[in-house]
Chains A and B, each alone.
Chain A
Amino acid sequence: MSLEHFISEAISPWMKEEGPDSDIVLSSRIRLARNLENYNFPDFASKEESETVIRKVHEANGDQEYGNCGKFEILSLDQLKPLAKRVLVEKHLISPHLAEQSKYGAVMLNEDESVSIMINEEDHLRIQCLFAGFQLKEALKLAGELDDWLEEKVDYAFDEERGYLTSCPTNVGTGLRASVMMHLPALVITKQMSRIIPAINQLGLVVRGIYGEGTEAQGNVFQISNQITLGKSEEDIVEDLRGVVLQLIQQERAARNNLQQGLKIQLEDRIFRSYGVLANSRIIQSKEAAQCLSDVRLGIDLGVIQGISRSILNELMILTQPGFLQQYANEMLGPDERDILRATLIRERVELEEA
């Protein structure tokens, strides 16, 4: 398989678009948790119940078109190989929970992979909409419409007082998790992030690494999301998050300016060294790769490096994850083999740009 072809397979079509503020906000995501009225929550449901839930949702909405989303396809997790599941996780189309723990999981995906509806994850339904750049409101609107579309055919577990009922009390009410993926290299370099994270936490928001709960920030990419789902409207939740994101964008831009003015040569040195590593290394671990990619992407955003497309960070961050590397190699690889293949793949990708 050629690299170009592999990339086009591996990168979801929605990612190729440039959204607003995409120099800092890589993507926006809305997730709605919903449960069906008459069945135990997935982790406590019998096989029959879980299969009925999948069947109900499939009958109602699977293989159908919705608005601009195109046609939906339903995948049953037990029919996927472990590697295929891992690739879906690395593309953020399913959660690690669905891939590893759910007994009777399934997922509905649309053609450009901007919408994924997980079935029998922690809740019966997890409607997820992904948008490029900073487009939380747009994502909320679409998720709301999809929610209405599903609700036409299935009865939701809803309570007047508590709202949408979810398996975990942390999701009850709106069932809404809004999140943005932000690239904040200047705030990290200037050591401001360690001060900012506790401040964000105090506002009822959470800062995590790129693959969600319990993951470390890789390549200066942070995921920021709401924690509170009850007692606020969907619009207010998104507005509160948006407010914080706007401030972070401003602060990151200011920090980038300061760096460029005060430490121009040091910054350029760092960027070009990282570029050198990516273009020349023969063995590279994912952590180092992520850090170098972050530097190069910053260099592109600042105009220090020219002629390379911005999407290289988003692309290579995903492509150099273990699952993708193994899919590219078409075999299972040990950590050492992965580090070698990762280096090769990055070099080839960079050469593709230079050509």
Chain B
Amino acid sequence: MFCQECHERPATLHFTKIVNGQKTEFHICEHCAKEKGEFLPGSNTFSIHQLLSGLLYGDPAISGTASPGLSQQSVLACPKCGMTYQQFAKIGRFGCRHCYEVFDSRLDPILKRVHGGNTKHEGKIPKRIGSGLQEKRELENLKKSMQQYILNEEFEKAAETRDKIRLLEKQKHQEKGE
């Protein structure tokens, strides 16, 4: 059976849609399904994705009325999974972890809207692959508080913090040396 959209590729996705007792059957190929978006698994159940995609489309930076940049945006695609930014905007989901890097320059406004203005992870760091990160974050926080102490002229506390930083950095070097 050939895809009822393109009549070229074999139909690999088969759907039966029942709306108010009206039964409609769809036989399409994966390529057309992706293009249509609505046939992708999950895209028609999660209201959150529709909402999100509404937000993304409402973004003047990517909406149809947007001007010269559009052609450039339409080619922004993830080399790993092939997801284009437009597809992402339509279905509201990433295809793989690399999409995050490829679309990074456009993510901040989206994440801000969804996560109450936040764009940076503040939570857990995986133990094994993130062990270095944990220390790095601790050092960053200590350095920040040291700056704050200096600004507040709380030099004693600043000195204490500085000693902690030195200790941590020393430990880090020792671990590397081993």
Contacts and interface: CB of A to CB of B under 8 A. Distances in A.
Interface of A: 35, 37, 39-41, 43-44, 96-97, 100-103, 122, 144, 147-148, 151-152, 155-170, 172-174, 176, 204, 213-214, 227-234, 237
The binding surface of chain B is classed by DSSP as loop
Interface in B18-68: 40-42, 45-49, 52
Contacts of A102: 41
Interface of B: 40-42, 45-49, 52, 80-81, 83, 92-97, 100, 107, 110-111, 114-130, 133
A41 B41 CA distance: 12
Contacts of B93: 41, 43, 122, 167-169
Contacts of B83: 44
A161 B121 contact: yes
Contacts of A229: 115
Contact of B97 (A101, A152, A165, A168): A165
Contact of A172 (B48, B81, B111): B111
B96 A101 contact: no
B121 A231 contact: yes
Contacts of B116: 204, 228, 231
A40 B95 contact: yes
Give the one of B40, B46, B127 with max A CB within 10 A. Answer: B46
Given A163-B124, A168-B46, A173-B122, 17 more contacts: A41-B97, A43-B40, A122-B93, A151-B129, A156-B126, A158-B125, A158-B126, A158-B129, A161-B119, A163-B121, A166-B94, A168-B94, A169-B110, A169-B114, A214-B45, A231-B122, A232-B123
A8 to B, nearest CB: 33
Contact of B46 (A100, A213, A230): A213
